[in-house]
Structure 1
Amino acid sequence: MTATLIGTRIRERRLALGLRQIELARVAEISAPYLNLIEHNRRKIGGKLLVRLAKALDTDVSLLSEGAEARLVDELNSAATADRMAQAETARIDEFIGRFPGWAHTLAERQRHITALEHRVAALSDRLGHDPVLSDALHEVLSKVSAIRSTATILAETDDLDRNWQDRFHRNLDTDSAELARTSAKLALYLDARENPQRNRLTPQDELDAYLDATGHFLAGLEQGGTLDETPEYADAAQMERGVRDLLISHLEQYARDVERLPETSFVALLEGSQLDPVVLARRAGVDLGTMLRRAAVLLPRSGGKETGLIGCDASGAFILRKSHDSFVPPRFGAGCALWPLYDALAQPSVPVQTLLRLNDGEETFMAHAVATVDYPRGLAAGRNVRSYMLVLRDEDRKAPRRLVGTTCRMCRVNDCLARREPSILTVSFDRERANENTPANND
C-alpha cells in the first residue's frame, strides 16, 4: 500500500498536463483555493468531486484514489508507537487494514480521541503553570488575603491597641478588601473571556463555537445548495475528532435545511420595505419562526448591516449554539440568566416571545425574539426534541419599559434579583427598584 495521498496525486497529474489550478478548478466546478487545499492534502475528497477531477485530468479514479489509506496507516503507526511497552507488528499494518478494516478505523479513531484529550490536558496544565495574567492575578489575590488576615489577627488579639492604630488598621482592611474585590472580579472576567479561543477550546462545544465564530456563522459552501457531503464545511467536519465532528455535522444539517427553506436571495427580498419583525417575516416567507431567527442571525449582518446575536439551548437549558453580540455575550460555563426570553420560550413551545432587555452593567437596550421549536425525530413514543432560540438585536428606544437581565448570576450586580440561584462575585451592586426597571409582559 503506497503512502502517497490523493491530493498529491492530483497535483502531480495536473502539473504533468501543464494545467493551472484555476483551470482545473473551473472544469471541476470548485474554487481554486479549495483545490489548493485538496492538493496539499488538507481536505478529504471522494464521491462525485473525485470523479469530476479524474475526468478533468483524463485519468482513472482508481489511479487518484490509490493511497487514500495513507492517513490511516500513519494513525495506526502513531498508535503503535505511543505505547512503548506494546510490541505491535508495525510491519504488518497494511495486512491488518486489509483484513480488518473496521477494527483499523476504530483503533485510529481511538488514537485521535486520546491525542485530543492529551492536548486539552496539556493546554490546561500550561495555562495553570505559565499564564502570566492568571499567575499575577492569583498572586495579587493571595497577597491581599494574607494582608487582610494579618490585620484582622492584630485587631482580634491585641486588647489594648491604641485607638489611632485601630482606625489605621480598619482603613487598611477597607482598602485591602476593596482591592481584593476588584482583582477577583477582573480574574473572573478573564477566565470567562474569549479573546484567545484557541487556548480556551477544552470541550467539543468550544471547538464548534470557535469554528462557527471563525466563519461569522455564515457557511458559504452550504449557501450554494447542492449535496451536503460535497461542501468544504463537511470536509472540515470529516477531519475533526468524533465529538466535534458529530456536533458540527448536526449543525450543518440544520443549516442546510434552513437554506433550503429560506435562501439568502429570498431573505433579502423579504427585507425590502419591511419592518424587522421576525414573526411577520416568517409568515410572509412561509417558514417557522425558528428558521427565521436562525437565518436572520446569519444574514442580517450581510444584508441589513445589523449586528446580531443568537443563543440556542436544549430543553435542559444547556447551550447548543452561541453567536455573540459584541455587547451581549453568553457565558462560556454554566447557564445564562434565568430571566432571558430564551427560557421563557421553553415554557410555551411554538409561542413567540418578544422582550426589551437591558444588561445590568450598561445602558444599552436590546430587543430579544425567542421561540422554542418541537420535533419528534423518532416518533411520539421516543419523546420530543425541544430547542429554544433567541435572536438579540440592539434597540435604540430607551424610553420603553425593559427587563433588567444579566449574563449569568456569578457576574450579575442586581442583589435583589428574583431569579438569582447563586451569589454574585461582584461587590458593586444595585437594587432592581433603585434602578427603576420594569419587567413588561411578553409580546406574543
Structure 2
Amino acid sequence: MRKAYMGVRLRRLREERNLKQVELAQALGISASYLNQLEQNQRPLTVPILLKLNAVFGIDVQLFSEDEEARLITDMRDAVAEGGESIALAELRELAANMPAVGRTLIALHRRYRDAVERGDVMAAQLGDDWTLGTRVRQPFEQVRDFFYARRNHVEVLDEAAERIYRDAGLSPRTIHAGLVAWLRGKHGVELAVGEAGPVQRSYDPATRLLHLSAGLTLGQQVFQMATQLAFLELDEAIGTLTVDPILIDDEARRLARIGLANYFAGALVLPYGDFLAAAEAEHYDIERLGEIFGVGFETVCHRLSTLQRPSARGVPFFFVRVDRAGNISKRQSATDFHFSRVGGTCPLWKVYEAFAQPGRVLRQIAQMPDGRTYLWVARTVMSSGGAFGKPGKTFAIGLGCDIRHAGQLVYSRGLDLSDPAAATPIGAGCKVCERPACPQRAFPPIGRALAIDENRAAPVPYPVA
C-alpha cells in the first residue's frame, strides 16, 4: 500500500458522526495531536488505523484504498471527457484522494445530464425532429452494467442464499442436475419438461407449474436455467428489493436487472462461493482446470471469478469482458477499479482481440494503461454452433484480467517477468479518451484536443484523415 493521505475523509467521517477530535482519537487509541496531523495530511493513514476504523465504526477499508481511488478517477475521467476543457490526471487524482464526495457528486451530475440528454432525444424523435441534444443515450443495459459495477459485481445476499440451498439440497458438482430437478419438484411442485429446440431457452407456466427447457441446451445450460427459475421462485422478494436503486431509472432497466440478479444467483448455485474460492486458490486460478472440477465452461468460470469479493473471504479481484469480432462488448464486469471507458470504446492492441486469430488457445498479456497501472490479461475464444448446417453460430473472445500485483497468484504468470516495464504492452481505454498521441493504432484524436500537424514535415498522421 502506498502512502495514503486521507485527511479530508477523516474529517468528514468525524463530522458525520458528530465527534470531536479528542473523541475520535480516543476511539482509535491514538493521541489527539496524531489525529490532527492525519487530518491535516501531515502524516499518512496507516493500515492499523484503517483496521481500527473498521472495527470501531464498521467502515469498509476499501473506501480508503488505492483501488477505490482509481475507480473514482476512471469514472471522473469519463464524466469530464465531454466537458470541452482538458483536466490533467493529477488534478483528478488530487480530487479523488482528498474530496471523494465532490468527485462522486460530479459523476452523479454527469449521469443526470446524460439522462436529460436521453429524454431530450426521445422527445425529439417523437416530434419528428432530426436533431438530438447529445451523442449518446444511456440504455437500460448500461444502467444495469452500472448497477453491478457499483457493487463490485458481488451480491452477498444471493451468494449466501445459493450456498444455503446448495447445502440443503445436498448438491455436488456432478449431481447438480438431478439434485435441482428433485429440489424443484419437492420444494415447489415444479416439473421439468424438455421440448424441441427453439429460440426460447426457458419458459415457466405458473398455472401448471411446468418449467419448459429447450432440447438444444446442454446439461450444464439446463442446470443454469433451472437455477435461474429457482431464483424467481425462492428469492423474488430479495431480488425486487435490490432493484429499487436510483441507478436503475426506468422499468426496462429494472426488469433487466432482475434477470441479471437471477443469473447471478444461478452462477452462485452452480459454483458455490466457499467451495469455488477454495478450489480456485488451490489450482492457482487455472480456468480450464476449474471447469473440469465443476463441470462448466470457460466463460462460466471467468464470470464467477469476477464476483469473488466477499469482505471476509476475497479472491483475486478480476475484470471480465466478452467481446465479438466487431469489437462489441456484450458483457463487462469489474470486481475492482478497472473498466474500459463508456466514451472511448476499446483498444486494438488489447490481447483479447488477438484471440480470434488463435481460436481455443489461451493467450496472455501484460498491459499498461496510460495512467501507469499495469495488468495481466488472459484471453480465449468460446464458440457454439448454430444447431444445424448453414445456421450461423456464436463466437466470442473472453478476457479475464487483474492488477499486476495479484498476478503472481495466477498460473498464467509463470514464465513472465512481472517486474520488467518493457514487457508491458501500452494499451488505452479507447481513442476518444486515450492520451497516447504517438500510438500507431490511433483512429482519431482525443475528445477536445487537436493534434499538431505540420504539412511541411513527413511525419505520419496517426489516424485517418481521408
Provide the TM-score with structure 1 as the length reference.
Answer: 0.47
Q: Indicate the structure whose relative CO is greater, using CA pairs within 8 Å and at least 6 residues apart.
A: 2
Provide the TM-score with structure 2 as the length reference.
Answer: 0.45
